[in-house]
Structure 1
Amino acid sequence: MNGIQLLCIRVKQNWTYQYKIMKSVVDWTVFVYFVIPLTVITIAIYKSWWEELPNWIHNISFYWIFIVFFLFFWGNHFRTYVKEADSIFLRKNEVLLLHMRRWGIIYSYIYEIVLLLFSFVFIAPFWFQHYGYNLHQLLLFGGLCLSIKWVIMGIKGKLNVEVTGWRTLISGIPLLLGTILVWSFCYQAFINNQIAIILGITITLTIVSIILIWPRYKDNHRLEQDLAIDRFEKTKIIDMIFSLSMDIEKMPKRYSSRKSPVTFSKSGRIFNRRTPKNGFLELFMKVNARNIQYITGYFQIIGITSAATIILPPMWLKITIIIAGSLFLLSWINSLWDKILGNHPFTKKYKNEEGYFAGRKQLTIVLVIPFVIFISLSMIFNIWIRSKLPFI
C-alpha cells in the first residue's frame, strides 16, 4: 500500500462518517417531503434563470458577488487525514505517513477548486447574461478566490484550532481585516480590468500559501497540529447540529477553577418581590447569564435574521425570513426554558404550576422585543441604503 491508496481509504472513511451524520438528521420523511421537492424546485428555478433572468437580479450590483464570495474564504483547513494511532503504527513507516500527508494537502487544494466550480455553476446565468462578463474573466475571478482562500487556510493551519472563545476572536481579527483590505483591492483591480495586477496577486498569494503549508508538507514533525485540525474538521458538522439542537445534551465543557462564577457570584436577589413567577425568571436569568452558549444562540438568531432582511433582495423573501426567524425564536425560547427549568431535578416538579407558564410568557415577551427592534432597524437601514445607493 502506498500513500495515495491510504489517503483514498481515509477520505472514503471521512465521507462515510459525514454521510452517517447527515442521515441521522435527515430521515426518510424529511428526505421525501422536503429534500426531494426542494431539489426539484431548485433545478427548475435554475433552469428558468438561463431562459429569463429574475427581476430581482437587476437590483443587485456586481459588488455583491464579491461580498458573497467573501464568505467562501472562511471554512476548511489543509487536511492530512491522520489519526491518533498513526503516531504509533505509522511512525514505523515514516515514508508512508509522509506520502499520505502530502497527498492529503494536495487533495485539499483540489477539493477547494471543485467546490469553487460548483459555486460558479450557480452564478453562471448572472455572470454571463446580466453582468456581461466572459469565461476568461470568470477564470481570473476564480484564481483570486482560490489564492486568497488557500492563504487563509495556510494561516489557520498555524493557529491552535482547539482554542475557543474570546481568544479565537482576538486572533481572527487581524486575519479578517487583512482579508477585507486585500479583497477590496482585488475588486477595484477586477472592475478596472487590470489583468496583470490580478495575475500578480493570484500568483503571489498562491506562492504564499505554499510557503505557509510547506512545514507540514516536508516532514512528520507537526503531527499533533494535524491531529487537532483533523478532529476539528471531522466533527464540525455534528458540533453545529448539537449547538443548534436544544433536545441534544451537550458535552460538558471545562471551566476554570474559580471559587465563584463571574456573573451573579454572590447570587443576590434580582427581584425584590418574591413570587413563583419571579423565582423561575430569576433562576433562568442566572443560569442563562453564566452560559455563553445560550447568550450566543440568542444573538445568532437575531443577527442572521437581520442580515438576511438586508441582503436578500425580494420583499417576499424578506417577509418569509422574518416569519421563519420569529417562529424559530419562539421555539428556541420555549426549548431553552424547558431545558433549564423543566428538566432540572429541582424545578421539574413545579413545571405544571401557574408561575412556570407565567414566567415563560413574560420571558418570551422580553426576548421578542429586541428581536422586533433589530428587524425593524434592519428594514429601515435597507430602505435607507437603497435610497442612497440605488445600484445596490
Structure 2
Amino acid sequence: MNNLAERRTGYDTPDPGRLLRMRLVQHWKEQLGIIRTAADWTVFLYILIPGALLGGRYYYGFWKEPLPAWIHLLPYAVLPALLALLMQGGMLLLLHEGDLLFLRQRKEWIRTIMLGGILYSLSVTVLKIAAGFLILLPFLVRGYGLSESGAGALLVLSLCCGTCIKLLAHNVRVQKQGWRRWLWLLLAAWLPSGLYIRAAIAWSAHPALLLLAAAVYAAVAAAGLRARLVLRGTFLGDVREDFKQRMKIAGLLLRGVIDKPRPTRHKPWIFRKSQTLLRFGSPESRLAGASIKAFIRNPGHFKLYLQFSGVSAAAILIVPGMLKWAVCIVMVFLMASWLVSYWKVFAGEEFIALLPFTKERKADAGSLAVPILLLPFSLLCAAVASILLYGWWGLAVFIPAGAAIGIMAARVFTAFRLAR
C-alpha cells in the first residue's frame, strides 16, 4: 500500500521533509486500518470509555485512599523491572523497499527519513515509559516512600535508559543474524536493563546518583545514534526490521488465528550433517533417523515436546507419595500415543510415499523411532519421581525405571497402532 502510493507520485516530492511527513501519515493510516479490520469503533468506544472511567477511579483511589495490602508484599525491584519491559522493542525507520532504487543515491534524503523515523520511534518510547511511570507513581511514592526528587530522577533515568536500549538493540538487529544476534542482544538490551534495575534499587534514596547514571545512559544513547546514522550496508536489514514493526499490531491480532511462518534456514540448527543418525545400515533405520531429525528440527513439535515435559514434571512434583509413579506412567503413555501419531503423519507424507517402503518396513521404522524420541521424556519423569521419593538413591533408580517404562509404552502403542 505504501509503495503503491509512492509509485503514483513517483517519489516526486520537493524535499525530504515532506516525504517524511507523508510516510508518517501513511504509517498511521496503515495501523488504523489494521485495527479497524478487527475492531468495531462503536463497540470499542463502549469498552474504552467505561474502562477509562473505572481506571481513573482506581488511580484516584491509589493516591487518596489506603493502598491495597498486596503492594507491601511486592519487592521494590518489581516496579523498575516493569519499566524495563516497556523499554524493549524495535524501531521504525520509515524506509521502504523502493528506496533501494529511487532514493539510494540521495544520501541526504535517506538520512533525513532515517533520522525522522528514529526520533519518532524514540518519542513513542518516551511516551510509553512516561505513561507506565505515571501509573506506577502512587505505588512508588506512597508504597515505597520515594521522594519527589527521587521519583523525578528515576523518571529521567528510565527515559535515558529506554532511549539507550532502543538504539543499541536496533543496531544489533540490523547487523546480526541467528545466535550471534541473541548473544549481542544480551549485551545491548538485557545488560543495560539489568544495570538500570540495579541502579534504581541501590540509589533510590540518592537522586544525584540516579541522575549521574542517567547521564551515562544518555551519552551511550548519543553514541548509538551517531553509529546508526553512519552505519552502511544494512539497507535490507533496515527494511526487514521496518516491516516487522509495521506488522506488529497485525501479528498481535492474528496470533492464534494463523501459524507464524517459519524462518528460512540455509542450514538446520541441529544435525547439520547429512549422514544417517542410527548406526544400523538397514533402510528402516535410515527412515527412523530421518523422522527423528524432522521431529527435532520442527519448532512446533519440539516446543510442544518441551512444554509437555515441563507440565508432566510439575504434575509429578505436585502429587503425593507413590502416586508420583502412577502419574509418571500415565504421562509416558500419553507421550507415546502422541509420538506414534506423529510417526503416522510422517510416514504418510508424499515424499515418503515415493520411497519403496512396505507397511511392514514403515512399522519397523516407527518401532525404532518412537522409543528413541520417548526415552528422554520417560527418563525425565522417572528422575523427578525417583529423586523426590528416594533422595540421592533415586539417581541409581531413575535410569532403569525410566527406560523400562518408556520401552514398554513404546512397544504397546507401536504394536497396536502401526499397521503391518
TM-score (norm 2): 0.58
Which of residues 279, 290, 298 in structure 2 aligns to 1:291?
298
Does residue 57 of structure 2 align to residue 47 of structure 1?
A: yes
Question: Quick one: which of 60, 74, 78 aligns to 1:64?
Answer: 78
Q: Match for 1:123 among 133, 136, 143?
A: 136
Specify the SS of the correspondent of 1:157: helix
Contact 1:98 1:220 in 2 (8 A): no
Distance 2:249 2:348 in 1: 26
The equivalent residue for 1:205 is 217
Q: Is the 8 A contact 2:16 2:113 kept in 1?
A: yes
1:66 alignment partner AA: P
Answering whether residue 261 of structure 2 is matched by residue 250 of structure 1, we say yes
Q: Is the alpha carbon distance of 1:179 and 1:196 closer, same or farther for their aligned partners in structure 2, counting shifts above 3 Å?
A: same
Q: Distance in 2 between matches of 1:218 and 1:119?
A: 33
Q: Which of these residues, 17, 21, 27, is aligned with residue 14 of structure 1?
A: 27
Post-superposition offset of 1:146: 1.9
The answer as to whether partners of 1:81 and 1:104 remain within 8 angstroms in 2 is yes
Relative to structure 1, the CA distance from residue 180 to residue 76 in structure 2 (aligned partners, 3 Å threshold; closer, same or farther) is closer
Instruction: Count the aligned residue pairs.
Output: 333
Give 1:196's match in structure 2, choosing from 191, 195, 208: 208
Structure 1 equivalent of residue 318 of structure 2: none
- Aligned partners of 2:271 and 2:293 also within 8 Å: no
Look up the SS of the partner of 2:171 in the other structure: coil
TM-score (norm 1): 0.62
Q: Matches of 1:18 and 1:342 in 2, distance apart?
A: 44
How far apart are 1:204 and its partner, in Å? 2.4
Aligned twin of 2:242: 230
Amino acid at match of 2:126: I
Matches for 1:332-351 after TM superposition, within 5 Å = none
Find the aligned partners of 2:275 and 2:49 in 1 and give their Cα distance.
Answer: 51
CA distance in 1, matches of 2:309, 2:202: 35
Q: Is the CA contact (8 Å cut-off) linking 2:104 and 2:110 kept in structure 1?
A: yes
Partner of 1:159, secondary structure, is helix
Contact 1:3 1:103 in 2 (8 A): no
Distance 1:74 1:252, change over 3 A: closer
Q: Identify which of 168, 171, 181 aligns with 2:181.
A: 168
Distance 1:177 1:249 in 2: 25
Q: Is the CA contact 1:94–1:220 (under 8 Å) kept in the aligned structure 2?
A: no
Question: Would you say the 8 A contact 1:287–1:340 is kept in 2?
Answer: no
| Residue matched to 2:97 | 84
Greater relative CO, 1 or 2 (CA 8 Å, sep 6+): 1
CA separation in 1, counterparts of 2:289 and 2:81?
42
- Give how far 1:209 is off: 0.9
State whether residues 84 and 227 of structure 1, in contact with CA within 8 Å, keep that contact through their aligned partners in structure 2: yes
The 2-side partners of 1:265 and 1:36 are apart by: 61
Task: Name the CA distance, whole Å, in 1 between partners of 2:45 and 2:292.
Answer: 38
Superposed displacement of residue 206, structure 1: 0.9
Give the partner amino acid of 1:194: H
Gaps (5+ residues) in structure 1?
Answer: 275-280, 307-329, 348-358, 378-392
What's the Cα RMSD here? 5.6
Distance 1:59 1:212 in 2: 38
1:104 aligns with 2:117: yes
Against the structure 1 CA distance between its residues 337 and 135, is the aligned structure 2 distance closer, same or farther, given a 3 Å change threshold? farther
Q: Deviations over 1:297-355 (max 9, x none)?
A: 66579999x9xxxxxxxxxxxxxxxxxxxxxxx9xx99x969966995589xxxxxxxx
Q: Match for 1:253: what amino acid?
A: T
CA-to-aligned-CA distance 1:261-298 (integer Å, 9 cap, x gap): 4499636599xxx9xxxxxx999865331223543466
Give the residue type in structure 2 aligned to 1:231: F
Q: Which one of the candidate residues 151, 170, 175 is aligned to 1:138?
A: 151
Unaligned stretches of 5+ residues in structure 2: 1-12, 314-334, 353-369, 389-420
**Cα distance change, pair 300–13 in 1 and its aligned pair in 2 (3 A):** farther
Choose 1 or 2 for highest CA Rg: 2
Q: Given that residues 156 and 214 in structure 2 are in contact (C-alpha distance below 8 angstroms), is that contact kept between their aligned partners in structure 1? A: yes
User: In the aligned structure 2, how far is the partner of 1:346 from the partner of 1:221?
Assistant: 40
